[in-house]
């Protein structure tokens, strides 16, 4: 194995219709013959496996914004919000008429659940159309915290979530981590609340401990604010053409192509 290539999925490697082109699959699998290839995504394990079923993933996957690290369907590491603090966050959000999605662990094995609220807002309802048929979705009248929660996510307009984020940070301080970022698919913003030690940066650290390599061997691809932590660690950080401005500013390389134009695969093909 020579180098480590780690890519974000949404708006980076996945096309906007949530597919992966045959060209991207072919280039990825050719690279995987002599390199370490995996993903770092905000998505859960089940959905990520669906997207990547035709790809050779030969290293642990960094999932749920770094809250979960999985290799060969086995949990290597997880960083959770406990039931008490997650319940407090949910109740505080309800005072602002904000209903969350909760992604959590059910039982001891790798069994993720996605709790979503009845009568969610327009952004949440639009997002859920992309999950039709997924067996880990659970509709509830009132979303609640599980014993082990990977993340709590809100979708709303930027001003609403900015106010809520400030309040969360004032109340919980270093006991949580909040990531506020644009959600390009839905035309809104996304506020993700995580364990304070969970993000793609810590996920990359865990992956590197597992692989026992050096960050100078890493190339990472991304588009949004949750990718910035791994941009700071990897030797080469690459932003796709459709990435957020702040992400481009911190990238070593800005690609001329978007996710819809197979940006990652076209770069890999030049190597």
Question: Which CATH number does the domain housing residue 136 bear?
Answer: 3.30.1240.10
Domain boundary among 194, 227, 261: 194
Q: Of 140, 166, 194, which marks where a domain is finished?
A: 194
Q: Output the pLDDT for position 128.
A: 86
**pLDDT at residue 1, rounded to an integer:** 62
Same domain, 95 and 127: yes
Residue appearing with tokens 């699998």: 29
Contact 161, 170 (CB under 8 A): no
pLDDT under 70: residue ranges of the chain? 1, 132-133
Q: How many domains does the chain have?
A: 2
260 contact partners, CB below 8 Å, separation of at least 6: 15, 16, 242
Cβ contacts of 176 within 8 Å, gap of 6 or more: 81, 85, 89, 168, 169, 193, 194, 195, 196
Give me the domain span that covers residue 95: 81-194
Are residues 139 and 174 both part of a single domain?
yes
CATH at residue 255: 3.40.50.1000
The rounded distance, in Å, linking the Cα atoms of 197 and 213 is 21
- CA pair distance 260, 269, nearest whole angstrom: 16
- pLDDT of the residue at 109: 77
Q: With contact defined as beta carbons under 8 Å apart, do 268 and 5 qualify?
A: yes
Task: Name the β-bridge partners of 70.
Answer: 61, 75
State the Cα–Cα distance between residues 249 and 120, nearest whole angstrom: 35
Residues 158 and 249 occupy one common structural domain = no
pLDDT score recorded for residue 133:
67
Contact present, 122 and 146 (Cβ < 8 Å):
no
**What are the structure tokens assigned to 190, written together?**
């996304």
Contact 165, 93 (CB under 8 A): no
């Amino acid at each position: 194995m020579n180098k480590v290539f780690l890519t974000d999925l949404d708006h980076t490697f996945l096309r906007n219709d949530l597919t992966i082109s045959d060209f991207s699959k072919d280039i990825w699998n050719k690279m995987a013959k002599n390199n370490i290839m995996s993903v770092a995504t905000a998505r859960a394990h089940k959905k990520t496996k669906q997207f990547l079923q035709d790809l050779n993933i030969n290293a642990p996957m960094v999932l749920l914004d770094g809250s979960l690290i999985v290799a060969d369907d086995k949990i290597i590491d997880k960083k959770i919000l406990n039931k008490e603090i997650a319940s407090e966050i949910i109740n505080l959000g309800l005072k602002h008429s904000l209903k969350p999605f909760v992604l959590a662990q059910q039982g001891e094995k790798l069994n993720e659940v996605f709790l979503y609220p009845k009568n969610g807002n327009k952004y949440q309802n639009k997002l859920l159309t992309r999950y039709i048929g997924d067996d880990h979705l659970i509709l509830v009248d009132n979303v609640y915290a599980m014993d082990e929660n990977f993340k709590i996510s809100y979708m709303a307009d930027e001003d609403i979530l900015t106010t809520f984020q400030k309040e969360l940070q004032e109340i919980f301080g270093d006991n949580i981590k909040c990531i506020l970022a644009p959600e390009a698919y839905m035309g809104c913003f996304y506020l993700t609340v995580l364990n304070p030690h969970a993000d793609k940066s810590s996920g990359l650290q865990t992956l590197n401990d597992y692989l026992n390599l050096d960050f100078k061997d890493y190339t990472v691809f991304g588009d949004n604010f949750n990718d910035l932590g791994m941009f700071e660690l990897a030797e080469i950080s690459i932003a796709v053409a459709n990435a957020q401005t702040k992400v481009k500013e911190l990238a070593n390389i800005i690609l001329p192509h978007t996710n819809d134009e197979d940006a990652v695969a076209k770069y890999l093909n030049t190597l």
